[in-house]
Structure 1
């Protein structure tokens, strides 16, 4: 029997089997940030342990960093303390840190791929659930808890139970205005936030293969939102073209050898998955969420369901109370207050280019506060070099420094209570963007359209207008 991509990578990293069905898995790359690392470093100190392989660890500050005045001391006390602790710990243990002011600083799941640290065929972990992003390259990448961060620091291994395997195929051609973000929101709306629990998901099919690496990262990023342990996509020429020439990608003969190995990784034709799902790309329209988890999603022209196969009436009613909405009514044309374009889901240069093109020559609606937050300093520099910042600011967007920003209420960029924010981030939980904030998840194109019109908008209408003019 053939092997899946997941099997090939996972099995190659098993150090030993442990009684009871567990395995010791070797970890190739460990990314850390300021939120989940302090306790792990303190644990090493208490036990008198060194880092086992500090050359396999890369640190950056992202969750707590301000996105304005990054050259000044952090004003918010808790954020300042966490970022300072990361700096002190990295100095004490000799860990490479891309902190504020470093040209490589940024969201951990953005800098890994753009620097060539993320590669096909490796195992990769971080104390952050959206580590699944890196699976877009054919890596087995997943988030871990703080105690596991310490385990990897001390041993470069983890004790784990191997997940089951799921394949989700999306076949066909996406409509104009439908993006990778819409694809994954659609999938989660059909399978629910528990649909992937216990599984590692491989995304396949012609629509997935047609995506850029940025799009593939968006899809894999949100695997965790349907309960999956992680998501991954088979490496192909798109992958190789993206990685070639990156700062830490292999060079010369090493590059050729690496590509030869990477070409062996895709799932064998006779590989067997525990569960398979197939969706038609043509069925997917621009998506928005209406509730308080990413599974509460629908097409932008549809009405909020009173209940469905995934969410019962009670859960919808609870979400409606928090969101201030009414089941059975549409979201289209509803006024909004904020637009946030950023996060590890949608803050790469491709996202910023798409938004800039959408809003060029137009103005953000008077009732909307709109911010764009690049995912890294490299993305910010590239956007400035291409003049995207000028286009965005001319339209009325704020163009900020790199960081996680308004994806989560852990820094200064919070959405006020009761306000509606169309957000390109990955979670719409109660209070996720700040106490009482109401989040509508969407693609960068849909978010850009909302910023200009001041309301939830079917971006396909704006694209048609642009074509006609």
Structure 2
């Protein structure tokens, strides 16, 4: 029987069976962040345990760092400075690589790991963050873990893991103009539910996936966790290798025979298959309090859970487009890479956000992205349009008790979660692509980005 891409990686990293039916799996990379990293390293030190191989462990300041220009260790989050200084000290003591607050390579963990070539095809990579699945875009088995599991992985180089089932999601054909990877994954979750991938590793395949660049593939895999999947995977190809070439931690050549095995065999079977016609996908916007509460921007709000309608303040049957928004956010590990910023800036160029928008932020995914965007003049476009241009970090993808949106705001956001309170107490979040965020900020209401893109096309 043929093997799936997941099977190839699993078989290479399988160490032994354990009592209870789980397996012991070898871990190639561990990535920490300041919100939990210091605590994990401190517990290890207290117990007299050390990092087995410091060269395989990395850490970054990203979750609670201030994103305002001129930042240092101080944060708006109460007690945030302590997380930063303690993580710095713990990383130095453990001898692991740290991308510090103002390191030139600092950024969101799932952005800088690919930028640095830390994630590579066929590796296993774990981090105490559910969106570690982002890095499955490179054909790596990457997933989120808890802090105690991070300790185990650092000390032993292994983790105990029950083997998941496999699912293939095939996007057939080509996407229509103005439709993005964010719309692809939101369509999957909307059609098959936020729990649709539970217990599975999801391999994304098909013509529409193969046509995506690496940054779009990362967006697709990023929200596999919103589908309740263990992780998402995409088979590496020449697009993957071209992206990785020359990265600091990448190899000098890509002739590793193992990498050539990293694809599902033609006769491979999956526990579940889903097929989606790419041409049927439209720009998507969430209407409720779960990513599964998502519809095409041109559709009407469906009947859903009463609590979701009450929280978001939208009744069933009303058009989603035209709903007033108070704030706009472009950032996160989902949509804050250079290509995301380019597409949003293309919508905003020569335009300005509506007077009703009380706060509009752009938070690049890394300082490398920030520098590249500034070299292209994207920061000037955002500033001229009325957006604040920030330093990199997780920022208002989630509310950590520091900076927030104005009370009662309805936010159009390029992030990945629209849960109650995700971006602050009482804040109502609509997740969408960066283009949709830009178009909606201009209009002051939820808007179809295709209308703004068409308006700029030459007659």
How does the TM-score come out when normalised to structure 1?
0.95
Q: Is the 8 A contact 1:359 1:448 kept in 2?
A: yes
Matched, 1:421 2:418: no
Q: Is the 8 A contact 2:65 2:75 kept in 1?
A: no
Residue 276 of structure 2 is matched in structure 1 by 279
Q: Distance in 2 between matches of 1:72 and 1:53?
A: 30
Stretches of structure 2 lacking an aligned partner (at least 5 in a row)? none
Q: Distance in 2 between matches of 1:155 and 1:417?
A: 46
* 2:350 match: secondary structure: coil
Residue 332 of structure 2 is matched in structure 1 by 343
**Alpha carbon RMSD of aligned pairs, Å?**
1.2
1:183-202 paired onto structure 2 within 5 Å: 183-202=184-203
**Deviation of 1:462 (Å):** 1.3
1:26-425 paired onto structure 2 within 5 Å: 26-76=26-76, 77-251=78-252, 255-258=253-256, 260-307=257-304, 316-368=305-357, 369-410=359-400, 412-425=402-415
**Deviation of 1:70 (Å):** 4.1
**Deviation of 1:106 (Å):** 0.5
Q: Is the 8 A contact 1:79 1:411 kept in 2?
A: no
**Deviation of 1:72 (Å):** 3.5
**Deviation of 1:463 (Å):** 1.6
Q: Distance in 2 between matches of 1:276 and 1:153?
A: 35
Aligned match for 1:434, one of 413, 418, 424: 424
Q: Is the 8 A contact 1:371 1:397 kept in 2?
A: yes
**Deviation of 1:75 (Å):** 3.8
* 1:195 match: secondary structure: coil
**Deviation of 1:416 (Å):** 3.1
Q: Is the 8 A contact 2:241 2:254 kept in 1?
A: no
Q: Distance in 2 between matches of 1:28 and 1:274?
A: 27
Residue 17 of structure 2 is matched in structure 1 by 17
* 1:371 match: secondary structure: strand
Residue 3 of structure 1 is matched in structure 2 by 3
Q: Distance in 2 between matches of 1:39 and 1:270?
A: 46
**Deviation of 1:19 (Å):** 2.9
**Deviation of 1:39 (Å):** 2.6
CA shift in 2, pair 1:302/1:28, >3 Å: same
**Deviation of 1:14 (Å):** 0.8
Q: What per-residue deviation string (whole Å, max 9, x for no partner) do you get for residues 132-151 of structure 1?
A: 00000000000001110111
Residue 310 of structure 1 is matched in structure 2 by none
Residue 457 of structure 1 is matched in structure 2 by 447
**Deviation of 1:423 (Å):** 0.5
- Report the more deviating stretch, 409-418 or 114-123: 409-418
Q: Distance in 1 between matches of 2:401 and 2:218?
A: 24
Q: Distance in 2 between matches of 1:70 and 1:136?
A: 33
**Deviation of 1:365 (Å):** 1.0
* 2:420 match: secondary structure: coil
Q: Distance in 1 between matches of 2:181 and 2:50?
A: 42
- Report the more deviating stretch, 31-40 or 152-161: 31-40
- The count of residues paired between Structure 1 and Structure 2 equals 457
* 2:66 match: secondary structure: coil
Q: Distance in 1 between matches of 2:322 and 2:170?
A: 32
Q: What per-residue deviation string (whole Å, max 9, x for no partner) do you get for residues 17-75 of structure 1?
A: 11321111011011100112233112212211111111101110001001003434414
* 2:255 match: secondary structure: helix
Q: Is the 8 A contact 1:66 1:411 kept in 2?
A: no
* 1:257 match: secondary structure: coil
* 2:105 match: secondary structure: coil
Q: Distance in 1 between matches of 2:390 and 2:374?
A: 11
Residue 313 of structure 1 is matched in structure 2 by none
